């Protein structure tokens, strides 16, 4: 008996969860403060650059514990009282959380655009970069969402961050043997198939980097990763049962 207004209810429920998470509130309040600090200390352009590179992590933050605790804790049964089925609720959490994260990011991006324009340093490409950052963010959300079917609390996010850190460390440690690839990353040219494949793999580990003008091609990998993660979530949802 899914209600007609099930998406607004899902969004309200997800929004309440975000607003009542002290960690989320602290990060949400801390990021604009840091951007202002960076803009004043360095320049609005530097603040914009930092924002564009790191705002996809906002999507990762809202994706913490998207499903795991609710599935195993039994709370999901309460969806019955909201006129919907639990599979639909979990699926609709994706767009609901994406909308919340995108609205928050847009709320930071617009003042930065105005600030940069006022200083005469606004680059129109930053609009495209914001769009690419949204794509990276959606990928984070879908990936962390899929992981949360196996993990509880915020461990889905922690795992992604740990894998990123491990990948970065291994890239740095292997700098000698992969010096060619690191140079390619620097100049944005990937002349052979091997380096192009490496770029796609790299972008799937660090989707934020596709906002860089030189690494735009990585958007393909991120888009494919997004589609794959959503397909995995859909398949998990089809099989999901509440055993508690």
Closest approach, Cβ 13 to another protein, in A, equals 7
Q: Which residues bind another protein (CB under 8 A)?
A: 1, 3, 5-6, 8-9, 12-13, 16-17, 20-21, 69-70, 73-75, 77-78, 80-86, 241-244
Residue that is written with structure tokens 């850190």 in the block: 165
> How many CA atoms are closer than 13 Å to the CA of 149, on its beta-carbon side?
21
Closest approach, Cβ 82 to another protein, in A, equals 5
Compare residues 13 and 171 and give the one whose CB is closer to another protein: 13
Compute the distance between CA of residue 177 and CA of residue 145 in angstroms, rounded to an integer: 35
Residue that is written with structure tokens 């596709």 in the block: 210
Compare residues 173 and 242 and give the one whose CB is closer to another protein: 242
Q: What single string gives the DSSP state of each residue in 183-220? A: HHHHHT---SHHHHHHHHHHHHH-GGGGGSGGGTTHHH
Closest approach, Cβ 69 to another protein, in A, equals 8
Contact 234, 91 (CB under 8 A): yes
Closest approach, Cβ 188 to another protein, in A, equals 44
Closest approach, Cβ 53 to another protein, in A, equals 31
Scored b (16 or more CB within 10 A) or e, 199-220 reads bbebbbbbbbbbbbeebbebbe
Residue that is written with structure tokens 């509440």 in the block: 242
Compare residues 86 and 104 and give the one whose CB is closer to another protein: 86
Compare residues 5 and 174 and give the one whose CB is closer to another protein: 5
Compare residues 24 and 164 and give the one whose CB is closer to another protein: 24
């Amino acid at each position: 008996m899914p209600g007609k207004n099930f998406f607004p209810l899902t969004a309200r429920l997800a929004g309440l969860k975000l607003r009542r998470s002290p960690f989320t509130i602290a990060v949400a309040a801390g990021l604009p403060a840091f951007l202002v600090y960076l803009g004043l200390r360095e320049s609005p352009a530097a603040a914009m650059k930092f924002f564009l590179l790191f705002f996809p992590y906002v999507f990762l933050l809202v994706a913490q514990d998207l499903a795991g605790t609710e599935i195993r804790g039994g709370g999901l049964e309460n969806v019955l009282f909201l006129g919907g089925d639990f599979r639909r609720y979990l699926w609709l959490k994706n767009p609901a959380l994406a909308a919340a994260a995108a609205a928050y990011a847009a709320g930071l991006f617009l003042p930065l655009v105005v600030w940069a324009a006022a200083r005469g340093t606004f680059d129109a490409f930053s609009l495209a970069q914001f769009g690419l950052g949204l794509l990276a963010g959606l990928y984070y959300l879908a990936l962390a969402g899929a992981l949360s079917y196996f993990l509880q609390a915020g461990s889905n996010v922690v795992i992604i961050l740990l894998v990123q850190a491990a990948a970065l460390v291994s890239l740095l440690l292997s700098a000698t043997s992969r010096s060619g690839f690191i140079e390619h990353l620097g100049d944005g040219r990937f002349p052979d198939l091997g380096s192009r494949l490496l770029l796609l793999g790299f972008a799937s580990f660090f989707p934020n980097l596709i906002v860089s003008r030189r690494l735009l091609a990585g958007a393909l990998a991120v888009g494919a990763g997004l589609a794959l993660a959503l397909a995995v979530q859909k398949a998990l949802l089809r099989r999901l049962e509440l055993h508690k």
